Amino acid sequence: MSDAWTRRRFLSGAACSSAMAALACAEGIYPLEAAGPLRGRFLTHVSVVRVNQIEVTPTSSMGQDESAQNGPNRIRSRRDAFARGCPQDRMTWAVSWLALHDTRDEFREARRLLASFHDRYGDEITFIPGGYFAPMYDTRENIRQAIHKALGRIGAMVGDNYRPQCIVAGFMDAENQRLLASGEGIHVCQGQIWSQHGIDYGDGDGGICYPYYPSREHYLKPAQGPADFIDCVCLDGWTCDFLASRRDGFSGGFNSRLGVGPIETVGNLGSVAGHKEMMDTTAMHFDRGYALNSFAWVTAIWEVSIGHDEDLTYWLQAVRDRWPDTKVLTEGAFGLEWRAHNSSNAAINYRFDARGTGAPGSEKNLEIEWFMNREFRLALLRDWVKNSPWMAIDFTRYDLKAEEPQGLQRDWSLMNVLNQKGTRPQDRPVRLGQLSAENQRIIYARYPELRSRT
């Protein structure tokens, strides 16, 4: 049985026709043609299996030894938790370099178990290079080689010429996303962690939180045209509360990664408040976001080692109950679904309008609007209770030249005119009318209705 047939066999329902079109294109069967706007509510879940906490390169790690928390019983428990929430759906497993190579019996059994999940459920089994932070701690060439070798290892592990539809990377430089498409035939990369800055082991603020094709100049910059186009759909890794995520790291004593992840919600707030925040963040996309964009997507990467399996079941069941039309796909299937509807970034026009949830760092009296397209992203903030004027807290232009770091450093952000994190002297909130005439022209050309907010 060919793996192409296996992937087709596990595509069903409304996702089938367009996802199969993208898959066929990825396999060189026929050219990709956009199939009209993507519509619907989508959810993806990724679980990570690793040995050490942050395996920044194949030979070096940061953090703790987590081998005891990544054994077969923990993996089986995670899959059961997912099945209780989504009995008929598929998830993605991202396996670290050490977990792919560890010769201990428990990791041999873990790999057999993961392969059985593909055979039984159609789960996607893929690689996570660098423990989320590969380009911050290793060279592009070393990363390329690790990806190539790991994909071969996974193919042998699963068998039947298996090939995942994506890799899960946390952050991934533009060149390796280009090579992923041109060299490995994989056209989806979870390649950015939206709005992450001042927290964990790497920084990367400046991109857009929904799918896009990256530019060859910078992984956070949407490609502007054929000259800088990379045919690899770049996906966010965690859906976060828009109010909390405007903060820098733990600024003000708050967690900027607050959203649908269990560490920041249930782990810090307790199950009642934590579950509420998970659902409130989901609703930012599945209610108002869906109304604005005609499609919505929520995603999260949960490490097997952290547990919280009961919270995964709760979240998935609650999403199904509240939004029964939600399509739960593997990471690769969702990326190819988007790709089938978008042959370039020309149609991107993501809009979000969210009010604070009342959780720490997400003030109930504040409202934020985001505008994200190929040319720029713009965020406006106001106190809706006091009916205060809208203030621009972020204006990042993508029509300007951008360049990624050439050496190893932790900050891979894309910041130019104004950034929401407030880390530079120029990052002070301003009225739209206080921006330069050129910046106002660019904004109003795309959104003329914003002239009333000057």
Helix (H) or strand (E) segment spanning residue 385: none
Nearest to 447 by CA among 373, 363, 357, 358: 373
Task: Examine residue 25 and state whether it is found in any structural domain, yes or no.
Answer: no
> Which of helix, strand or coil describes residue 54?
strand
Cβ partners under 8 Å of residue 348, min gap 6: 208, 210, 212, 222, 342, 372, 373, 374
Q: Above 60 in pLDDT, residue 49?
A: yes
Same domain, 358 and 301: no
Per-residue confidence band for 426, with pLDDT thresholds at 50, 70 and 90? very high
Q: Tell which of 303, 319, 341 closes a domain.
A: 341
The structure's pTM equals: 0.92
Per-residue confidence band for 454, with pLDDT thresholds at 50, 70 and 90? confident
Mean pLDDT confidence for 226-230: 97
Nearest to 180 by CA among 164, 193, 192: 164
Q: What rounded mean pLDDT belongs to the chain?
A: 93
pLDDT attached to residue 156 = 97
Cβ atoms within 10 Å, residue 38? 22
Task: Examine residue 27 and state whether it is found in any structural domain, yes or no.
Answer: no
Q: Above 50 in pLDDT, residue 213?
A: yes
Cβ atoms within 10 Å, residue 65? 10
Q: Above 50 in pLDDT, residue 441?
A: yes
Mean pLDDT confidence for 345-370: 97
Alpha-carbon torsion, ordered 195, 258, 429, 396, to 10 deg: 20
> Measured in whole angstroms, how far is the alpha carbon of residue 250 from the centre of its chain?
21
Among the residue ranges 19-33, 120-134, 143-157, the one predicted with the least confidence is 19-33
Cβ atoms within 10 Å, residue 22? 25
**Burial letters for 212-251: b for 16+ Cβ neighbours within 10 Å, e otherwise?**
bbbbbbbbbbbbbeeebbbbbbbbbbbbbbbbbbbbbbeb
Same domain, 337 and 386: no
Q: What are the tens digits of pLDDT across the range 281-310?
A: 999 999 999 999 999 999 999 999 999 999
Q: Above 70 in pLDDT, residue 19?
A: no
pLDDT attached to residue 349 = 97
36 vs 426, more confident: 426
**Do residues 370 and 409 touch, judged by C-beta distance below 8 A?**
no
Instruction: Tell me the CA end-to-end span of the chain in Å, nearest whole number.
Output: 61
Q: What are the tens digits of pLDDT across the range 75-97?
A: 999 999 999 999 999 999 999 99
Helix (H) or strand (E) segment spanning residue 334: helix 331-341
Same domain, 286 and 374: no
Per-residue confidence band for 21, with pLDDT thresholds at 50, 70 and 90? very low
pLDDT attached to residue 36 = 83
Q: What are the tens digits of pLDDT across the range 360-408?
A: 999 999 999 999 999 999 999 999 999 999 999 999 999 999 999 999 9
Q: How many domains does the chain have?
A: 2
87: containing domain: 38-341
pLDDT attached to residue 123 = 98
Q: What is the CATH number for 281? A: 3.20.20.510
Cβ atoms within 10 Å, residue 276? 16
Task: Examine residue 13 and state whether it is found in any structural domain, yes or no.
Answer: no
Q: Above 70 in pLDDT, residue 24?
A: no
pLDDT attached to residue 34 = 54
Task: Examine residue 124 and state whether it is found in any structural domain, yes or no.
Answer: yes
Residue 120: C-alpha distances to residues 46, 235, 268, 404 (Å): 17, 26, 35, 41
Q: What are the tens digits of pLDDT across the range 135-166?
A: 999 999 999 999 999 999 999 999 999 999 99
**Do residues 255 and 203 touch, judged by C-beta distance below 8 A?**
no
pLDDT attached to residue 6 = 32
Q: What are the tens digits of pLDDT across the range 240-287?
A: 999 999 999 999 999 999 999 999 999 999 999 999 999 999 999 999
Same domain, 336 and 359: no
pLDDT attached to residue 63 = 87
> Measured in whole angstroms, how far is the alpha carbon of residue 288 from the centre of its chain?
20
Alpha helix ranges (H) inside 64-173: 72-85, 97-101, 105-121, 134-137, 140-158
Query: Alpha-carbon torsion 344, 285, 420, 276, what sign?
Result: negative
Task: Examine residue 284 and state whether it is found in any structural domain, yes or no.
Answer: yes
Distance between CA atoms of 312 and 332, rounded to whole angstroms?
Answer: 20
Place of tokens 């992450």: 196
Same domain, 418 and 441: yes
Q: Tell which of 316, 341, 366 closes a domain.
A: 341
Distance between CA atoms of 224 and 239, rounded to whole angstroms?
Answer: 25
**Do residues 166 and 335 touch, judged by C-beta distance below 8 A?**
yes
Structure token digits, residue 175: 């060149």
Same domain, 326 and 379: no
Task: Examine residue 222 and state whether it is found in any structural domain, yes or no.
Answer: yes
Q: Above 50 in pLDDT, residue 27?
A: no
Share of the chain above pLDDT 90, in %: 91
Per-residue confidence band for 10, with pLDDT thresholds at 50, 70 and 90? very low
Q: Tell which of 295, 312, 341 closes a domain.
A: 341
Structure token digits, residue 91: 């998830």
Same domain, 211 and 261: yes
Same domain, 246 and 312: yes
Q: Are strands 349-355 and 366-373 parallel, antiparallel or unpaired?
A: antiparallel
Same domain, 308 and 246: yes
Q: What is the CATH number for 416? A: 3.30.1120.110
Task: Examine residue 276 and state whether it is found in any structural domain, yes or no.
Answer: yes
Same domain, 335 and 360: no
Same domain, 390 and 309: no
Task: Examine residue 328 and state whether it is found in any structural domain, yes or no.
Answer: yes
Same domain, 131 and 245: yes
